[in-house]
């Protein structure tokens, strides 16, 4: 992990609030693994506002051109700054951070479920799984059509996917959790990997409780340091013996056993 400055080679607006930045960085392209993230400085050269860096998953890696990308939703000051960056400008970031995703041994079929911007880290994982000859079924759920253009990125990786939106404006109308619930028999041999809003993760945890399905979750929390020193990103975990442990999402995660995460 190191502090780096990378040139933005493309800045794309996908919809009103959704943006993609493509950044030249041989270091990230060589060293980063799926599920890792970068901590981005979101202030101009002469400003310290906001002071804290903002974490973003690595969305894509193009090793041929040494370019990686970030897909992000505008939430507040930091992401508004990033949305205004243009091709040719320099992004200051630290990374790769967190632990990468290791493909579980003896698993050949994977169900990836992303809610909203939770699809971002799953795309690089999907690509990695496909490169390792695994079967991947991707399920994505959104509120509306904000992610409409994103489907073009997904199609480049795989064709076996289902998209749902709450208002029916993009993909099928409905919730991905309902689809999962109704298809449990089909997916009983799949390794699940989920990332998205807490409500969705909680829902999937309760659907899978008591069933012999392995599920991993990519967890997110507001972060200050991103390197394990501030304790800002602590997550409560209840292991199989019922013992409670506190884990840091930035250095112990972001990948955890979904069934061990305490949401209350």
Stretch that binds ligand FES, among 23-31, 96-104, 163-171, 220-228 (CB under 6 A): 220-228
Q: Is residue 224 involved in binding ligand FES (CB under 6 A)?
A: yes
Q: Is residue 221 involved in binding ligand FAD (CB under 6 A)?
A: yes
- Burial profile 162-171: b = 16 or more Cβ within 10 angstroms, e = fewer: bbbbeeeebb
Neighbours of 3 (CB within 10 A): 11
The two structure tokens encoding residue 4: 């780096």
Query: Please, which of residues 107-146 interact with ligand FAD by CB under 6 A?
Result: 117, 120
Question: What whole-number distance in Å separates Cα of residue 71 and Cα of residue 28?
Answer: 16
How many residues touch ligand FES (CB under 6 A)? 12
CB neighbour list of residue 250: distance below 8 Å, 6 or more residues apart: 55, 97, 98, 223, 225, 226, 227, 228, 233
Length of the chain: 264
Q: Which does 228 bind (CB under 5 to 8 A by kind): ligand FAD, ligand FES, none?
A: ligand FES
Q: Which does 224 bind (CB under 5 to 8 A by kind): ligand FES, ligand FAD, none?
A: ligand FES
Per DSSP (E only), the strands in 32-78 are 37-40, 54-57, 60-62, 67-73
Stretch that binds ligand FES, among 25-33, 83-91, 98-106, 230-238 (CB under 6 A): 230-238
Q: Is residue 226 involved in binding ligand FES (CB under 6 A)?
A: yes
How many residues touch ligand FAD (CB under 6 A)? 21
Q: Which H or E element spans position 231?
A: none
Rule CB under 6 A: choose which of 229, 236, 262, 263 binds ligand FES.
229
CB neighbour list of residue 15: distance below 8 Å, 6 or more residues apart: 145, 146, 147, 148, 149
Is 251 exposed, middle or buried (CB count within 10 Å of its CB: 0-12, 13-18, 19+)? middle
| φ, ψ for residue 123, nearest 5 deg | -65, -45
Rule CB under 6 A: choose which of 38, 113, 154, 223 binds ligand FES.
223
Query: Please, which of residues 41-70 interact with ligand FAD by CB under 6 A?
Result: 50, 54-57
Rule CB under 6 A: choose which of 155, 184, 231, 262 binds ligand FES.
231
Q: Is residue 13 involved in binding ligand FAD (CB under 6 A)?
A: no
Q: Is residue 102 involved in binding ligand FES (CB under 6 A)?
A: no
Q: Which does 50 bind (CB under 5 to 8 A by kind): ligand FAD, ligand FES, none?
A: ligand FAD
Stretch that binds ligand FES, among 22-30, 109-117, 210-218, 222-230 (CB under 6 A): 222-230
Q: Is 81 helix (H, G, I), strand (E, B) or coil?
A: helix
Q: Is residue 233 involved in binding ligand FES (CB under 6 A)?
A: yes
Sheet with 54-57: strands ordered across: 54-57, 37-40, 90-97, 2-13, 18-24, 67-73, 60-62
Q: Is residue 76 involved in binding ligand FAD (CB under 6 A)?
A: yes
Interacting residues toward ligand FES by CB under 6 A: 223-226, 228-233, 248, 250
Interacting residues toward ligand FAD by CB under 6 A: 37, 50, 54-57, 71-73, 75-79, 117, 120, 220-223, 254
């Amino acid at each position: 992990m190191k502090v780096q400055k990378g040139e933005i080679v493309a800045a794309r607006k996908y919809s009103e609030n959704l943006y993609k930045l493509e950044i030249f960085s041989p270091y990230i392209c060589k060293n980063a693994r799926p599920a890792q993230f970068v901590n981005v400085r979101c202030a101009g050269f002469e400003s310290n506002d906001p002071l804290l860096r903002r974490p973003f998953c690595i969305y894509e890696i193009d090793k041929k051109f040494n370019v990686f990308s970030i897909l992000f939703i505008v939430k507040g000051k930091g992401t508004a700054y990033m949305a205004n960056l243009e091709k040719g400008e320099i992004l200051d970031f630290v990374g790769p951070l967190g632990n990468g995703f290791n493909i579980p041994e003896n698993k050949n079929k994977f169900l990836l479920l992303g809610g909203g911007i939770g699809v971002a880290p799953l795309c690089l994982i999907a690509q990695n799984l496909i490169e390792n000859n695994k079967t991947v079924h991707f399920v994505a759920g959104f509120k509306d059509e904000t992610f409409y253009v994103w489907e073009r990125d997904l199609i480049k990786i795989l064709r076996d996917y289902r998209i749902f939106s709450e208002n029916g404006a993009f993909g099928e109308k409905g919730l991905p959790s309902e689809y999962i619930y109704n298809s449990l028999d089909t997916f009983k041999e799949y390794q699940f990997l989920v990332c998205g809003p807490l409500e969705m993760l909680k829902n999937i945890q309760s659907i899978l409780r008591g069933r012999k399905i392995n599920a991993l979750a990519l967890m997110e929390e507001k972060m200050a340091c991103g390197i394990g020193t501030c304790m800002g990103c602590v997550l409560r975990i209840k292991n199989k013996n019922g013992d409670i442990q506190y884990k840091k999402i930035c250095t112990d995660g972001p990948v955890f056993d979904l069934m061990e995460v305490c949401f209350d």
